[in-house]
Structure 1
Amino acid sequence: MADVIVVGSGGGGTVVSKELAGRGLDVLVLEGGPFYRDPETQWSRYENDCNNPADGYFRFGAADRFEHPPWFRELPQYSFVFQLAGTGGTTQHYFGNSPRAMPGVFSDYTGADSDAYDVAHRFPLGYRELIPYYEWVEATLPVQTAAVGTKEAVFFRGCERLGLPVNATKDILRDSFRPQENAILQPGGTAGRTDDDARLRYPEATGCTFCGYCFQGCLEPRRAPRNLKAKRQADNSYLPMMLTADLWAPGGRRVTLVPNAFVTQVLTEQQGGSTVARGVRWRDTQTGEQHEETASVVVLSAGCTENPRLWLNSGLPDPNDWVGRGYTDHAIDWVIGVFDEYTGNSRGPSSAARADYPGRGSIQQSGLPPALQALAMGLSASGVRGDYDNGRGFTGSWDGKSGRVMGAELKDVLSDVDNLLSILVLTDDDVEPDNRVIRSAFPPDENGPIPKVEFEYRDRTARTQRNREFLCDQAARIARAAGATRVLRIDFPSVPLHVHSTMRMGTDPADSVLKDNAEARWVDRLFVADNSALANSLGGPNPTLTTQALATRTAENIVTTYFGGDRWVRTESPVSSLDDRVTRGVLGGALE
């Protein structure tokens, strides 16, 4: 019997496991996908080999990718959910972007622009309370100001010409631009100074080698120890710490990691009129054998689609019908600037520059290698540019109407991927109950009844749609100001990249699943520690850092509530960037 069972080894599961093991608890981590022990031999840089949803090594499916189909979900037409199975989870796809959430999404915010946010779904804790946990994760990964190159300089040039100010803090306090705060190690030695692959090996090269393949999981620098790979995806950072907690923490315990272990049921019992989690049932995806494990606490970190599926398949209580609701994803879109000059679009950290607009969302430069760049331009809810527009065809500061880039135009635009500036739009998306996960009417797969994702653009609120149009226009204006000769708006369809909030914590028991300590409202000793616990879409910033800060806080809550331990993260932070000067000068006392 373990002290704690953690379901999933992604961006949240590895964090909560590392922190719990470091405090002397026995932790069992069950991961449905494979254990990627040696990426240099298991992975490649071929975009289809990595990302193909049917047989790519980053698909959502069993380890034997050429023998069995991916695990099935029922999805809306023309949709796809970017979720991975395997150690590290979907952080293998992320660009390392680690901005903090906007202060306006927290319960202590009273600024003049307070009503610009999703006021009905704020976090049930204050921004100031979360800052020490942000700092803990920022120091652990570590998070650093991104190394920048040509594409970032082009983006900054456009921002400066539009008169946007620079943000010199980690906190998003006003419309501004800045280099990303990235969980990517800074280049050292020959990294970033040569294209000679033979000289980009550890220890001659350290940190980011500017390869440009962030979406394919980080192999760089070659021959580096796993914990010194450049991008701090969970399997390069928290997972090694999780597995060696007995070595780095006095009294720490080694975590037991079981890959290819798909959890199919949360086991509960009744104690004094309460439903209490007591363990899980899981299936070995290689042999089909069924197993049961017991523990004092269970933590769900299987993702925003699988957590609701597991809850519903386990028959757990859902009296307010909010399990699976609030499937929120930043209503993403792409704006592409075409230049007559070299931009280095495919080189270096994929995304190292951003602009933020409190109450509306964020935009970020997001360079891609050729096949993924073509994919980003080839998916649209508006149809084909200049041919048909599906009744949408938005117009703005871009050229013509929005739509997918196809045929001769795609060939022309992609004649040189390094003459583009690719900008990703991340909207402050309202939490909408009709965007949700339910059980599908399709036959079960080997792991039980499958999830159905009900998620359509028609369910976006008017505020979300206004935010999206504003941000797309800003992105187009930045590209134009930077010198783009053409600017294209894609109108990306429902392909969620940043999914949040399907098991959300909240201030109101009527529309939330978790209490403010991330414990389930109706099942004692059951916690959630991944993106699904987020109360809202954070104002637009990328979710991983906030998820990891909350997972650290959740680990503390587990230790103090059920194992008699003390808190270890300072609640009063001496290094917070929300100092008196910034609070008076920018926020005007909004957080006082």
Structure 2
Amino acid sequence: MRDVIVVGAGGGGPVVAKELAARGLDVLLLEGGPHHTDPRASWTHYENDANNPLTGFLRFGPADRRKPAWLREEPQNSFILQVAGVGGTTQHYYGNSPRAYRGAFAGYEGPDRDAYDTAHAFPFPYAELVPYYEWVEATLPVQTAAMGTKETVFFRGAEKLGIPVQTTKDTLRASYRPQENAILQPGGTAGRTTDPARLVYPRATGCTYCGFCLQGCMEPVRAPRNQFAKRSTDNSYVPMALTASAWARGGRDVTLVPDAFVVRVHTRRRGGRTEAAGVTWRVGATGERHREEARVVVLAGGATETPRLWLNSDLPDPNGWVGRGYTDHFLDGVTGLFDEETGSSKGPSSAARCDFPGRGALEQLGLGPANQAFAMALSGSGIRGQYGNGRGMTGPWDGRAGRVLGPELKEALLHGVNRLVNILVLTDDDVERDNRVLLSAFPADEHGAAPKVALDGHARSRRTSANREFLARRAAELLREAGARRVYRFDWAPLLLHVHSSMRMGLSERDSVLTSDAESRWVRRLYVADNSALANALGGPNPTLTTQALATRTAERIFTRHFGGRPWVRAEAPVPSTDPRISAAL
């Protein structure tokens, strides 16, 4: 019997696995997708090769790219941008690691308290999570993003709007700042040359300004895996987990099994209560099924797959909230066309942001040509200048909102992406009961009934809609002030990139699945450590850092409650994921 089984090696699962293995526990980490052990042998920087949702090496599907992607039912016009495999969706994330806004937590009494979704606050104060933020920030590490031309343009617009600069990790007011990113700062020749021959480790360290964050990070050339610039978990927490005994006294290495899709969680009755007992997984390459027992099971498959697994396992759901409350930051895109070079596709892809507590956030977004065209053609409002569906609102952008296609798209991209600046709108959206994951009525796949993601992007709460409109207008105003000669707003259909809260912890047993320790309310020794555990949309900031801080806290609770250990976060200094002992062991 294992001490702990962790289901999912994405943003949160490896955090739990690493922390518990480093303290001597026997941890089995199961991942349904592939493990890209040598990205330079199998990855490219080509956008379609990487990001095609059906055939890309970063998709939600099996390791064998000749096989179809795994099914998700989406009855609305939406697109789930998630990745299977060791590292999960962090393989193509931009490393953005801001802390949540304080108003998303219990006990907040600031003057803007009522601007948040106070009905669904975290069940503990913000200050309680700060030490865990600090632990993760030191471990990854999280650093101030390297700056370039696009950031200069973004900051110019923010300053002209009169937005003050922020100098603290905690967001205290509306402000702009460089991103706090989980990307190593450029060192040596990195950031100083585009000559590939000079961008080789150890001559170059950290970010090489390649601009291909969305295609997975494998820079600098010849760097050990734990020295790759972007601190996706396959480059940070997973190497630490796999070498836990190399740097932690009494630690044990994690057993990682990729291509192992968990299809059922098993329970047992003990002392009159139901508790987790183990899991069954399916080997993708052969179809074989294996079962293993454990003292504790941690679900970390993501906000779509964790509720699916729960429901397919026939686990209890007495209040009906499993899969409900699916928040997504109701994303939108605004793009400015400039007469000057902006370097939009160069350097860390997202390195500047504006925060508006109680509303959400804006962040500069760099894209390559194919993804730029996709972003400009994604809309819920019809084609600009040709037809609309009643949603093509007007504002401080040119014309009506909507997708840009045909000659207009060609004109916008005529001089390439490096005369554009994109702004991603991150809306603080309400937890809404009817936005949810449930089981599809379509024929089951090899893993059981498929997930159905049901939400209506056009029927959000009044607060959510008002927040999105406020932020989109501020984004357009910022681009105008920065000197854009044309500004487009797209009114995106739901792009499900920042998804959370579908297995939420909460203040009330009536509308939450997890306790304040991220343990199931109805199945003991069953925990959740992915974005689905988040109580709400965090106020708008990117979710990964908060998920990883919460996963660290959850691991500590597991260790002290079930294995007789002592808390460590306030007593120890974290070992950085770039420690040379890890590199040597790998």
Q: Which amino acid aligns with 2:537?
A: S
Tell me if the contact between 1:95 and 1:350 (Cα under 8 Å) persists in the aligned partners.
yes
Preserved contact between residue 76 and residue 454 of structure 2 (Cα < 8 Å): no
- Say whether 1:446 aligns with 2:446: yes
Matches for 1:329-344 after TM superposition, within 5 Å: 329-344=328-343
SS state at 1:291 partner: strand
Partner of 1:550: 550
Partner of 2:319: 320
For residues 529-552 of structure 1, the C-alpha deviation after alignment (integer angstroms, 9 at most, x for no partner) is: 010000000000000000000000
Is 1:352 matched with 2:354?
no
1:31 maps to a residue whose letter is E
Pairing of 1:187-198 with structure 2 (within 5 A): 187-198=186-197
Partner Cα distance (1:81, 1:209) in 2: 29
What's the counterpart of residue 132 of structure 2? 133
Q: Which amino acid aligns with 2:47?
A: E
> In angstroms, what is the RMSD of aligned CA positions?
1.0
- Equivalenced residue count is 572
Residue 298 of structure 2 aligns to a residue whose secondary structure is: strand
Match of 1:262 in 2: 261
Please list the CA deviations of residues 425-471 of structure 1 after superposition, one character each: whole Å capped at 9, or x if unmatched: 00001001100011111010011111111022133101000000000
Structure-1 separation of matches of 2:82 and 2:421? 26
Q: Which amino acid aligns with 1:61?
A: G
CA distance in 1, matches of 2:108, 2:211: 38
Is 1:44 aligned to residue 44 of structure 2?
yes
What is the rounded CA distance, in whole Å, between the counterparts of 1:196 and 1:246 in structure 2? 39
Deviations 1:343-390 (A, max 9, x none): 000000000000000000000001111111111101100010111121
Mapped partners of 2:60, 2:359: distance in 1: 32
Query: Aligned partner of 2:567: which letter?
Result: R
The aligned counterpart of 2:19 is 19
For residue 411 of structure 1, what is the aligned residue in structure 2?
410
Offset from partner CA, 1:246-284 (integer Å, 9 cap, x none): 111110001000110000000001112211100001111
> What is the CA–CA distance in structure 1 between the aligned matches of 2:18 and 2:440, rounded to whole Å?
34
- Alignment-derived partner of residue 568 in structure 2: 568
What's the counterpart of residue 205 of structure 1? 204
Counterpart Cα distance in 2 of 1:39 and 1:390: 44
8 Å CA contact retained: 2:263, 2:447:
yes
1:512 Cα shift? 0.3
What is the alpha-carbon distance in structure 1 between the residues aligned to residue 314 and residue 14 of structure 2? 26
The alpha carbon displacement at 1:199 in A equals: 1.0
Residue 432 of structure 1 contacts residue 459 of structure 1 at CA under 8 Å; is this kept in 2?
Answer: no
- The ranges of structure 1 where at least 4 consecutive aligned residues each deviate by more than 4 angstroms after the TM superposition are none
Residues 132 and 571 of structure 1 are in contact (CA less than 8 Å); yes or no, is this contact kept in structure 2?
Answer: no
Give how far 1:311 is off. Answer: 0.4
**1:129–1:571 CA contact under 8 A, matched in 2:** no
1:584 aligned partner: none
The one-letter amino acid paired with 1:19 is: E
Superposition TM-score, scaled by structure 2 size: 0.97
Per the alignment, residue 510 of structure 1 pairs with 510
Give the TM-score, by structure 1 length.
Answer: 0.96
Q: 1:93 touches 1:214 (CA, 8 Å); kept in 2?
A: yes
Other-structure match for 1:494: 494
The answer for the alignment partner of 2:99 in structure 1 is 100
Question: 1:571 deviation in Å?
Answer: 8.3
Q: What corresponds to 2:147 in structure 1? A: 148
The residue aligned with 1:455 is: 455
Gaps of 5+ in 2: 574-586
| Structure 1 position 19, deviation (Å) | 0.3
Is this contact kept in 1: 2:76–2:456, CA < 8 A?
A: no
- Structure 2 counterpart of 1:527: 527
Listed one character per residue, the Cα deviations across residues 156-203 of structure 1 (whole Å, up to 9, x for unaligned) are 000000110000000111000000000000001111111111111111
User: Per-residue displacement from partner, 1:296-324 (whole Å, max 9, x unpaired)?
Assistant: 00000001111001000000000000000
3-state SS of the aligned residue for 2:79? coil
- Tell me the SS of whatever aligns to 1:299: strand
| C-alpha distance in 2 between matches for 1:430 and 1:25 | 38
- Does structure 2 conserve the Cα–Cα contact (< 8 Å) formed by 1:503 and 1:514? yes
Identical pairs, percent = 67
Query: Distance in 2 between the 1:338 and 1:552 partners?
Result: 42
Displacement of 1:82: 1.1
Letter in 2 for 1:448: G
Residue 168 (structure 1) aligns with? 167
Q: Which amino acid letter does the alignment assign opposite residue 303 of structure 1? A: G
Is 1:76–1:456's contact at 8 Å kept on the other side of the alignment?
no
Asked if the contact 2:15–2:551 (Cα under 8 Å) also holds between the matched residues in 1, the reply is yes
| Cα-to-partner distance string for 1:221-256 (whole Å, 9 max, x where unaligned) | 111000000000000010100100011111000100
Q: Aligned residue for 1:311?
A: 310
Matched, 1:109 2:103: no
C-alpha distance after superposition, 1:104-150 (max 9, x if no partner): 00002011110000010000011111000000000000001110000
1:572 CA drift (Å): 12
- Deviations 1:511-544 (CA, angstroms, capped at 9, x unpaired): 0000000000000000000100000000000000
Query: 1:580 maps to what in 2?
Result: none
Counterpart position of 1:401: 400
* Helix, strand or coil at the partner of 1:457: coil
Partner SS state of residue 459, structure 1: coil
**In 2, Cα distance between equivalents of 1:264 and 1:392:** 41
Flag structure 1 segments of 5+ consecutive residues without an equivalent: 574-592
Structure 1: distance between partners of 2:372 and 2:156 = 22
What is residue 477 of structure 2 aligned with on the other side?
477
Asked if the contact 1:73/1:453 (under 8 Å) is kept, the reply is yes
Aligned twin of 1:588: none
Rounded Cα–Cα distance in structure 2 between residues aligned with 1:3 and 1:138:
27
Alpha carbons 1:435, 1:459 under 8 Å: kept: no
